Amino acid sequence: MSQSPTYDDVRGAATRIEPYAHRTPVLRSRLIDEQLGAEVVFKCENFQRVGAFKFRGAFNALSRFTPEQRRAGVVTYSSGNHAQAVALAAQLLGIPATIVMPHDAPAAKVAATKGYGGQVVAYDRYTEDREEIGGALAAERGLTLIPPYDHPHVIAGQGTVAKELFEEVGDLDALFVPLGGGGLLSGSTLSARALSPDCRLYGVEPEAGAKAAQSVRQGSVVHIDTPKTIADGAQPQHLGAFTFDVIRREVTDFHTATDRELVEAMRAFATFMKIVVEPTGCLGFAAVRDLAAQLRGQRVGVIISGGNIDLGRYASLLAA
Ligand SMILES: *Cc1c(COP(=O)(O)O)cnc(C)c1O
């Protein structure tokens, strides 16, 4: 568990999740290719179970529990896609799940988590620390804590997204990955290095909180205040020890996107590809649009990480 994950771990994860996870489609748009002057392939995790790639890492991590761990149960903290991913994975594997969520989390997310059989424990995000609460529950009740990104089995599961992409499309010149705590990017990196070694790797963060770029520049994990952005899946305040270790060694560069650029990418996805993508899921494509001049003539991969957004909010973002 204290070992840094490798591509072998990604392969193992692929075998474990295969009967349960969707092999998501890779989509292209002739109009987007023409506009950008590049060949762009989109790996669509908005079509994954629970609507985001997080199901992969959660399922892989839970499927590695010992019988005792399974009986006692899992605990995690998340207000977003990881909560639902752990709840569903636990339900499929017959493991009791406790999810620590802020008391002001969107009602739809709380309902979805409970709908998968997760037991929700509410906390006050302004006065209490979710990692502490999760740790205390784990200690008191003998639960196993599965954090949203900084865990080798979670990273290995997330790496199966890029593994499937490279297996389907072959070598790429560059791959753009949404970046929060870095589970998806570090997993993608493991697969890219094994399957398309010369592919340039880009992590894309909200402009309001570019902690990864700062961390790599400084050589240690930088902590920031929770960034104010519509990209709610990319609001962690810091990378983890495991994710930083992979990212600092292998990632080519970092880029940022403003909320406005994310909305324009959402609009392009709806217009040209007819798909609903949540703001965080647009980070990679927003960066490609911004860097189009330097990507001309190249084969470019984009991970669309998720599609969970309340439709009223989606409509109002696009109308603004
Ligand atoms: C969690 C999440 C991310 C960020 O993933 P990390 O592994 O934390 O970097 C990006 N997009 C969506 C839709 C997410 O749910």
Per-residue pLDDT tens over the stretch 18-53: 999 999 999 999 999 999 999 999 999 999 999 999
If you write DSSP's letter for every residue of 214-235 in order, what string do you get? HHHHHTSPPP-PPP-SS-GGG-
Give the active site residues. Answer: 54, 79
The whole-angstrom separation of Cα 235 and Cα 150 is 14
Q: Residue 117: what pLDDT?
A: 93
Q: Is the CB of 149 under 6 A from ligand 1?
A: yes
Structure token digits, residue 260: 């406005």
Cβ burial 31-41 (10 Å sphere, 16+ → b, else e): ebeeebebbbb
CA dihedral 309→310→312→314, nearest 10 degrees, is 0
CA of 242 to the centre of ligand 1 (A): 16
Structure token digits, residue 290: 């911004």
Name beta bridge partners: 201. 175
Number of residues written out for the chain: 320
* CA-to-CA dists, residue 36 to 73, 204, 256, 292, 311, angstroms: 48, 18, 18, 6, 29
Q: Is the CB of 81 under 6 A from ligand 1?
A: yes
Q: Residue 2: what pLDDT?
A: 66
The whole-angstrom separation of Cα 307 and Cα 164 is 19
Q: Is the CB of 206 under 6 A from ligand 1?
A: no
Phi then psi for residue 253, to 5 deg, are: -165, 170
The whole-angstrom separation of Cα 78 and Cα 318 is 26
CA of 231 to the centre of ligand 1 (A): 9
pLDDT at residue 139 tops 80: yes
Ligand 1, from 56, 280, 283, 310: best to mutate by most atoms within 8 Å of Cβ? 280
197-233 pLDDT, tens digit each: 999 999 999 999 999 999 999 999 999 998 999 999 9
Mean pLDDT value across residues 286-314: 97
144-192 pLDDT, tens digit each: 999 999 999 999 999 999 999 999 999 999 999 999 999 999 999 999 9
Q: Is the CB of 182 under 6 A from ligand 1?
A: yes
